[in-house]
Amino acid sequence: MTKPSELPLKGIKVVEFTHMVMGPTTGVILADLGADVIKIEPITGDNTRRLKGSGSGYFSMYNRNKKSLCLDIKSEEGNKVALSLIKEADVLIENFRPGAMDKLGFGFDDLIKINPRLVYCSLKGFLSGPYAHRTALDEVTQMMGGLAYMTGLEGKPMRAGSSVIDITGGMFGVIGILAAIEERHRTGEGKQVTSSLYETTAFMVGQHMAQQAVTGEAPPPMSVRRSAWAVYDIFQCANNEQVFVGVVSDTQWRIFCDAFGLDELGKDESLAANNGRVSQRERILPVINAAFAKLSKTELMDTLEKSGLPFAPINKPSDLFDDPHLNAGGLIDVTLPNGDKTKLPAIPLEMNNQRFALRRDIPTDNGNSINTLQDAGFSQEEINKLIDLGVIRD
């Protein structure tokens, strides 16, 4: 789906005031789907560009397919430039602390007066309630929302190995935006949409809350295995490598036993139904472990694949660069702001069997402010004046 005319959000104009992960995730999904997204960065560039360690990939992952405008919005002239873009926009995205946009004159109540069709999306730590004033981070809400408890060992809560709440919170932001645009087709009016980290975390652990409601017992961390299935584990192979295997139905159990010659287990009627197998895990697993220990990782995975059973090698993120399936369309070739080339994941969607491609590379460290303003209809004279005033970067 490389032709702009084929993209589902073609013609939707978005102005994005965001940094870090949650807000840029919302923007990059809209941009990949075809929206014209202008990312407003501080005059010195988004601070996320300068993060190190685990944050060093944030900017490159979540800002492709966007235009960039490095703008001093605190100046009078910069404020006017931003307002001129917002007046023509369909959507505004922001993920700054509560009240920050209002102080700049960019709050919802101010902007809906000059653009009644504006869908205004705020990405926050909390929705309305006693915590609404708090500053939150992905890890903060993983801790207070129970996800870190469910991920770690007993007594050792641990955040998930990705910014899963930032990312899913951004996805809920997209869902809210698209719902508001659909409603606008009927009403002609814009709306304020808010997505939050804490409530996203609660939604993510809702399955465990429901588990407690159904069973009457608080669920232990996932590391303390209380699986719904007897075979749902990481197993060791002969070459000291690991493979995850799941057997999640009675039909799969029969296939599994046949594939690996586990005749004694397969013929045992007490193991024919799932609950019977779960109650006898301590008997089943040693037999399976012994069988798998004789097989190499390749032999084990080949047998599982031929049998149509769920399995997975235990990969690191670095392994995905060379994954043959992802390289069949799931990775996008991009240029990092420093000029290096790499491949990063596309959004996980197809429409009519087509993926969403790169149309605009990741903004360089200097952004592309001049081209962005030219595309927005500013004359060269107006742009030169803004450069001379120090309102934009040239």
What's the 3-state SS for 178-239?
Answer: HHHHHHHHHHCCCEEEEEEHHHHHHHHCHHHHHHHHHHCCCCCCCCCCCCCCCEEEEEECCC
Q: How far is residue 182 from each of residues 9, 42, 179, measured CA to CA in Å?
A: 12, 32, 5
User: Is a pLDDT exceeding 60 seen at residue 194?
Assistant: yes
CA atoms within 13 A on the CB side of 341: 2
Average pLDDT in the 313-339 region?
96
Amino acid (one-letter) located at 228: A
Set out the domains of the chain in order of their start, with CATH numbers: 4-204+329-388 (3.40.50.10540), 231-315 (3.30.1540.10)
Q: How confident is the model at residue 180 (pLDDT cuts 50, 70, 90)?
A: very high
Other C-beta atoms within 10 Å of 12: how many?
21
Q: What integer pLDDT is reported at residue 1 of this predicted model?
A: 57
Q: What integer pLDDT is reported at residue 228 of this predicted model?
A: 85
Is the Cβ–Cβ distance between 223 and 279 less than 8 Å?
Answer: no
Q: What integer pLDDT is reported at residue 4 of this predicted model?
A: 63
pLDDT digits (tens, 9 = 90+) for 201-229: 999 999 999 999 999 999 999 888 677 89
pLDDT digits (tens, 9 = 90+) for 341-383: 999 999 999 999 999 999 999 998 777 899 999 999 999 999 9
What's the pTM? Answer: 0.94
Buried b (16+ CB within 10 A) or exposed e, 77-93: bbbebbbebbeebbbbb
Q: What integer pLDDT is reported at residue 38 of this predicted model?
A: 98
- Name the average pLDDT for the chain: 95
Which three-class secondary structure state does DSSP give residue 91? strand
Q: What integer pLDDT is reported at residue 281 of this predicted model?
A: 92
